[in-house]
Amino acid sequence: MNRIEVCFSPGEYHLYEADFQLIVVLDVLRATSAICTAMEYGVKEIIPVATLEEARNHQAKGVLVAAERGGQIVKGFDLGNSPYSYMNPELKGQTVVLTTTNGTKAINMAKTKDTVVVGSLNNLDALCTWLIEQKRDTLILGSGWKDKFNLEDTICAGAIADKCLESGLFFADEDSTVASKFIFRSSRENMFAFLKASSHRRRLRKLNLNEDVKYCLTPNNCTAIPILKNGSLVRMNHETIENAAI
């Protein structure tokens, strides 16, 4: 039996991370949903950076840079973190540098571990199938909102934990995992309505991002599993194929 647990936000990561070398990072609204979508639509790699300064350094070298703060594209950058913007055929095969309010911080926090993968509702089944195959202790890390708990990452974490626990190959010990599973099960019939009360939904509503939210809450419209390799997120299958070709 392997263990699967949920850590609500980067601020609590130090309390949960010790026993895990496999981390699943979530930022459902919208960074990790966008990353999964980008891989699905053929973006070659995404380099997550924590600060706008790092992002500007990459931009100065001619790399395509996506930067989001507070739900909006930062002025002077090419892209934000709307999943729709990554469906653009012109991005196929490209490298994108990405910095967001919460998601890229969580990815960077986890990068000392052996394996870091990116999850969302969009790649839920593909990710869970892979996690169950791995037979490893797994920590699901929500990006939260400025280190605070958020509902949408908790629902997604609960969905992943629930599926893995149902396989009978995992157990969970933490109350955070029990609560996540419970919140997912209660919300799954209508996540959009459930999240009406969520603080981040309200934040995004003001920005007129309803279509993005609906997309991010749609399970299994992607099969790509982004994995961190040498500081870059790449699509897991593609990477395997590339390695085979070398």
DSSP 215: H
Going residue by residue from 148 to 167, which x/- string records binding to a second copy, judged by CB under 8 A? xxxx--x-------------
Which one, of 104, 137, 198, lies nearest residue 6 by Cα?
137
Give dist(CA 50, CA 179) in Å, integer: 29
Shortest reach from residue 171's CB to a second copy, in Å: 11
Site stretch for a second copy (CB under 8 A), options 55-63, 103-111, 195-203, 207-215: 195-203
From candidates 74, 115, 179, 232, binder to a second copy by CB under 8 A = 179
Paired tokens of 76: 């002077």
Give dist(CA 195, CA 175) in Å, integer: 21
From candidates 30, 58, 105, 200, binder to a second copy by CB under 8 A = 200
Assess 145 for contact with a second copy (CB under 8 A). Answer: yes
CB 225 within 8 A of CB 127: yes
Give dist(CA 205, CA 196) in Å, integer: 9
From candidates 174, 218, 238, 239, binder to a second copy by CB under 8 A = 174
Which one, of 182, 133, 186, lies nearest residue 161 by Cα?
182
DSSP 156: H
Shortest reach from residue 185's CB to a second copy, in Å: 10
Assess 205 for contact with a second copy (CB under 8 A). Answer: no
Size of residue set near a second copy by CB under 8 A:
26
Shortest reach from residue 151's CB to a second copy, in Å: 5
Q: How many CA atoms lie within 13 A of 162 on its CB side?
A: 19
Assess 146 for contact with a second copy (CB under 8 A). Answer: yes
Assess 199 for contact with a second copy (CB under 8 A). Answer: yes
Give dist(CA 34, CA 66) in Å, integer: 11
- In the numeric block, the tokens 């052996």 are attached to 114
Shortest reach from residue 61's CB to a second copy, in Å: 36
Shortest reach from residue 201's CB to a second copy, in Å: 9
From candidates 133, 173, 211, 242, binder to a second copy by CB under 8 A = 173
Give one DSSP letter per residue of 171-184, joined into a string: E---HHHHHHHHHH
Assess 101 for contact with a second copy (CB under 8 A). Answer: no
From candidates 53, 90, 114, 175, binder to a second copy by CB under 8 A = 175
Give one DSSP letter per residue of 27-63, joined into a string: -TTTHHHHHHHHHHTT--EEEE-SSHHHHHHHHHTT-
Site stretch for a second copy (CB under 8 A), options 41-49, 86-94, 146-154, 208-216: 146-154
Contacting positions for a second copy (CB under 8 A): 8, 11-12, 15-16, 145-151, 154, 173-176, 178-179, 182-183, 186, 197-200
